[in-house]
Amino acid sequence: MDPLVREINQYLVTIFNDVLAIEAESLRDGEFSDLSIKEMHTIEAIGMYKEHTTTEVSRKLGITVGTLTVSVNHLVKKGYVERVRSEDDRRVVKLGLTNKGRLLYRVHDKFHRDMVKETIDEMDPEEAQMLTKGLRNLYQFLEVTKQQLKKKDKK
């Protein structure tokens, strides 16, 4: 087996665990310690600009709509998220962030970007491009895989 594959795989697994652990840790000590890391990611997925429906956000997070509804209940109660019924289709709920939610989003986003920035500052621009390309490939592969799974599911 290709040792490069093994190495990349190893990095991915460790990076994911590390990012999670670091995020959780800095969340616990900080200004927003009433939130779990999962709730943080839900806020991230709801996002700043476009309004997103419950179904869209749940798909983005890879959880069921029911799970998201429960989580959003908490986040509304804590004052981070707002629900707005769509005018076009009254079945649909659009999720958005409150001011407090947007503040948190910015803090978390900065954390992420600093992390990435520190990394690519070590690299010359060409290398940074390569990293991006690699990630883009991985991303595309995963999107295709996800589509295939969904199809298989319907059968």
For a copy of itself, the binding residues (CB under 8 A) are: 1-2, 4-9, 11-22, 24-26, 44-45, 60-62, 109, 112-113, 115-120, 122-123, 127-139, 141-143, 145-146, 149, 153
Name the minimum Å distance from CB 85 to a copy of itself.
27
* Closer of 51 and 120 to DNA (Cβ): 51
Residues binding DNA (CB under 7 A) = 24, 28, 36, 38-39, 53-55, 62-74, 83, 89-94
What DSSP state is assigned to residue 68?
Answer: H
* Closer of 19 and 93 to a copy of itself (Cβ): 19
Torsional sign, CA 138, 140, 141, 146: positive
Angle at 24 between CA 18 and CA 26, to 5 degrees: 100
Are 67 and 45 a contacting pair, CB within 8 Å?
no
Helix (H, G, I), strand (E, B), or coil: what is residue 93?
Answer: strand
* Closer of 65 and 135 to DNA (Cβ): 65
Looking at residue 101, its amino acid is: G
69 binds, among DNA, a copy of itself, none (CB under 5 to 8 A by kind): DNA
124 binds, among DNA, a copy of itself, none (CB under 5 to 8 A by kind): none
153 binds, among DNA, a copy of itself, none (CB under 5 to 8 A by kind): a copy of itself
Looking at residue 126, its amino acid is: E
51 binds, among DNA, a copy of itself, none (CB under 5 to 8 A by kind): none
Are 49 and 55 a contacting pair, CB within 8 Å?
no
Q: How many other C-beta atoms are found inside a 10 Å radius of the C-beta of residue 37? A: 16
